[in-house]
């Protein structure tokens, strides 16, 4: 799955992979239509939540996105290229508060 490769900083351009597919994968999770085989690939890559919220695939995907931006020092201006939907972008920014370094990341200028 391309998103899994992007979240792991696979060469040559992992950010381009994330830009290409994050929003679509998030939408599939949002619609509760993600095949279990696809989630099986992403599950160990995206952050886990407390046991009572770990079922929330969308939140885990959003935190995984922010975690990748922090970890790989991707430019914050590219976040809007990964999440074009304003509602999802606001959710990503909210989720960033729960990722180490995420609050500082989104406080930078887009």
What is the separation, in whole angstroms, between the first and last Cα of the chain? 28
Confidence at 44, pLDDT banded by 50, 70, 90: very high
Tell me the pTM: 0.93
Helix (H, G, I), strand (E, B) or coil at 93: helix
Alpha-carbon distance 110 to 108, whole Å? 6
Residues 102 and 70 sit within 8 Å (Cβ to Cβ): yes
Say what angle helices 14-30 and 86-96 make with each other, to 10 degrees.
Answer: 100
Alpha-carbon distance 107 to 79, whole Å? 12
Confidence at 52, pLDDT banded by 50, 70, 90: confident
Structure-derived torsion over alpha carbons of residues 4, 105, 23, 63, reported in degrees to the nearest 10: 60
The answer to whether residue 20 scores a pLDDT higher than 80 is: yes
**Residue 27 in tokens:** 């939408």
pLDDT tens digits for 80-109? Answer: 999 999 999 999 999 999 999 999 999 986
């Amino acid at each position: 799955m391309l998103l899994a490769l992007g979240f792991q900083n696979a060469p040559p351009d992992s950010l381009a992979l994330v830009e290409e597919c994050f929003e679509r994968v998030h939408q599939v999770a949002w619609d509760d239509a993600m095949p279990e085989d696809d989630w099986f690939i992403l599950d160990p890559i995206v952050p886990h939540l407390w046991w009572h919220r770990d079922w929330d695939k969308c939140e885990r995907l959003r935190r995984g996105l922010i975690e990748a931006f922090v970890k790989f020092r991707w430019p914050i201006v590219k976040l809007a290229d990964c999440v074009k939907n304003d509602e999802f972008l606001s959710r990503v920014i909210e989720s960033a508060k729960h990722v180490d370094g995420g609050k500082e990341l989104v406080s930078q200028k887009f």
